[in-house]
Structure 1
């Protein structure tokens, strides 16, 4: 294991030196990581971003686009032949169809390269021709990031923390019943009982996800990909035995598989993909967590702090990159689905997102990375209206319902102006919002009629792009 770590480190160091030496003499390459927990809108974010970079009529806040300096944009094959291509054309077709629908969510890593021909600005712009900037977008499930926190933990530590969290959750009733009938000290248990317990734990993860919880590790249990059914995904947390388990016990076998999961699944992902990212956007469904209740909000806060712990944030200076691996220079925390609120509430949503992610942002800022939090909608699905209800005016949004396809006006409740009114009940473990009512509505994509040169409608996607990579254009 030590030799493997040394080899991995040496490989990454050689790659970093090679990249640093050749960078001044080659096209600019920006590796943008896009992640977020399930239902945060990763697929829609990438699809809308690419569409709006190809047709830039709705991107005035991306300065290179607003100034007309992006001469051309085109899609190219991604540089890594071993990574599946992000299915941009299929996802765009789903969003722009006569009867539009949401595309399938992220279930594995994928990549897409968008190349931009950009005219330089500044005093010497007239003496230089356009330069090429490659934007390599890497899409991966946020649940996989949570796994990086397992690297420095033992099976016993992970089991203890998981069992403490699920002790009061009714979603874990079936798993707790299965666990009570399972003997961790039993020898030669056989694969069937171990697989049954792992399936029960996986069932808990699915139920907890549906309720709105975020701390769902291992991440590949819900999104197994081609590992489904393998022993590396067939284990579950176990209570610490009072006596030392024998080598042939179920405890020791689960412990072995846990270590194998870290070695064969988590470490290669970090080494081959995650450690090469320059800029990162973390999409967060803050509204969904608020709708699910205080405990879901606190769970999301802790999960986001754990996710940031996986980054190596800091300034990616060229000279210093000779002596250290790549570091994430900029991280955007984006509260998605801003179109589910009237624009008058967007500052409150952004403030709650910023407070919710305070621990995560402080760590990144201290390490030298630039961070920002904003409320966005990658694809705008609603229009705003003002209606009269019980003698007072309400700001509402109107959109097409996902289940029925019918139009409906919706007021989710007024978010508090002070984020502490959300975070304090969450931190104290309150069961509800003490009289406040925050609703949520599932909207379908709106039917689009796009004019030539315009990408899909959005909210602040151009500002997000300017923060993430505008400085490199």
Structure 2
């Protein structure tokens, strides 16, 4: 059977993949030795789509692990076995440090506000001094355990799905999903007009890329999470480079060798080889456990298309975590796989606690659907509804003779307001089953509101208030503490 190639980078990709795979195998053996005989460590990845709350999650998690009075659901803390926690220099000297202190100041200062969102990859090391359980504790005494937290945009994770797709396949899938979206019409018209262009023109390519990037931004504002390639909205120092100057085009049976379609294909393959693959080999392949933050409430508010897109996004994420599915992926991992994945529905404080089981049920239904479609196996997965920073308090109000379970929080203008968002359905399939034209979405009685962080008065030993952050930590770290 002829070897599979990847455009003009095919041979180079295959050779370097094998070399990188061997390097990863040696590194994995070294990590195993260190974990067994020296100070063990765990690499925890945190990701999610835009506005899912990655920065707030990491900041509150670290603050609550440093000051653990609110972490009673973490067994090692409840049993009194965590003797100390402290920040240390991170092991990766080439990665930016997660700006924990600045983000904490934004959330807990005299004028609290939401910190800037994740724009790139960053890391933070949190170390624990822990007393082991059982006979081991009496023999070895306290030990040190390191938690390396890696923050990266969820759009980058979805890019891993491109590695299996040719330019023609990606273009066809992307253009098919754009049909019917009014805000996509400008790009669809431009892409059709460009079909059959037999000579490449750089300004024309730049204009197509600009219109496509504008579409991706609009799609995200409409609650759509499938916005690949992910670096188009977070270009960093690649802004304006040819590797970020391409767009999907309609299929051509015999595209001209020096035409627009062929150059777009070449740049797409370069994006996979020079942007996606390095992220995988340098960062993603080293992750032991993963948190995927899901803004399910915003998707539900946006409507059935956004919910369906969220389900596809979860499917793509699960595919990325399934080693062995693709030959190129297996070459890198050599048996290493992510052990646990937590899907967390954020902003649970925007609902009364009586609604939290229904929100989790929606996430469970989306996850089950994604697992089925992704043919996923391997890692242990869990889902829960959380609020990394609780911004509301609950109260029950009477309206038109009816008792309403409300939440009260601070608005952007500083005023406080009580809010009743409506009720999520008891049957999550009403949200996840897919809707046909003419269906009524949640009877029109569900809304969300953007609350701001409230001023905090923290006692000594207390981290910021949260909902189920301790249970999330127990699932992710409990067995290692």
TM-score under structure 1 length normalisation: 0.94
Q: Distance in 2 between matches of 1:430 and 1:37?
A: 29
Aligned to 1:464: 472
| Aligned-pair CA distance for 1:20 | 2.2
Match of 1:87 among 76, 99, 120: 99
Query: Which secondary structure does the structure 2 equivalent of 1:117 belong to?
Result: strand
Q: In the alignment, which of 226, 230, 243 is matched to residue 215 of structure 1?
A: 226
1:96-115, Cα deviation, whole Å (9 max, x unpaired): 11111000111111000000
Distance 1:365 1:260, change over 3 A: closer
1:444 is aligned to 452
- Matched residue, 1:367: 377
Deviation per CA, 1:146-176: give whole Å up to 9, x if none: 1000001100000001000001101112212
Q: For 1:183 and 1:366, locate their aligned partners in 2 and report how far apart those are by CA, in whole Å.
A: 37
Contact 2:155 2:227 in 1 (8 A): yes
User: For the Cα contact (< 8 Å) 2:106–2:115, is it kept in 1?
Assistant: yes
CA distance in 1, matches of 2:425, 2:38: 50
Question: RMSD of the TM alignment (CA)?
Answer: 1.8
Q: Which residue of 2 aligns with 1:453?
A: 461
**Cα offset, 1:276, TM superposition:** 0.6
The equivalent position to 1:192 in structure 2, one of 188, 200, 203, is 203
Structure 1 residue 352 displacement after superposition: 0.8
Q: After the TM superposition, which segments of 4 or more aligned residues of structure 1 sit over 6 Å from their partners?
A: none
CA 1:87–1:343 in structure 2 vs 1: closer, same or farther (change >3 Å)? Answer: same
Distance 1:365 1:168 in 2: 29
Partner residue in 1 for 2:5? none
Equivalent of 1:388 in 378, 386, 398: 398
Q: Is the CA contact (8 Å cut-off) linking 1:185 and 1:241 kept in structure 2?
A: no
Q: 1:260 to 1:365 in 2, by over 3 A?
A: closer
Change (3 A) 1:365 1:216: closer
What residue is the counterpart of 1:235 in the other structure? 246
- Mapped contact 1:184–1:238 kept (Cα < 8 A): no
Q: For residues 42-441 of structure 1, what are the structure 2 equivalents within 5 Å?
A: 42-187=54-199, 189-242=200-253, 244-312=254-322, 324-361=334-371, 367-402=377-412, 404-426=413-435, 428=436, 432-433=440-441, 435-441=443-449
With over 3 angstroms needed to count, the CA separation of the structure-2 counterparts of 1:264 and 1:171, relative to structure 1, is same
How far apart, in 1, do the equivalents of 2:85 and 2:62 lie? Answer: 9
Q: Is the 8 A contact 1:232 1:261 kept in 2?
A: yes
Distance 1:407 1:284 in 2: 26
What is the CA–CA distance in structure 2 between the aligned matches of 1:12 and 1:376, rounded to whole Å? 35
Report how far residue 185 of structure 1 moved.
Answer: 2.7
CA contact (8 A) 1:58 1:455 kept: yes
Gaps of 5+ in 2: 1-12, 325-331
Task: Indicate which of 18, 21, 24 corresponds to 1:9.
Answer: 21
Separation of aligned partners in 2, 1:430 and 1:247 = 47
1:14 Cα deviation from its structure 2 partner: 1.4
Out of 7-16 and 358-367, give the one that drifted further. Answer: 358-367
- Contact 2:322–2:376 (Cα < 8 Å) also in 1: no
User: How many pairs align?
Assistant: 462
- How many Å apart are 1:177 and its aligned residue? 2.7
In 2, the alpha carbon distance for the partners of 1:394 and 1:284 equals: 26
Give how far 1:432 is off: 4.9
Measure the CA separation in 2 of the matches of 1:6 and 1:27.
30
* Shift of residue 74, structure 1, vs aligned partner: 0.8
- Whether the aligned pair in 2 keeps the contact of 1:185 and 1:249 (CA below 8 Å) is yes
Q: TM-score, normalised by structure 2?
A: 0.93
Task: Tell me if structure 1 keeps the 8 A contact 2:387–2:469.
Answer: yes
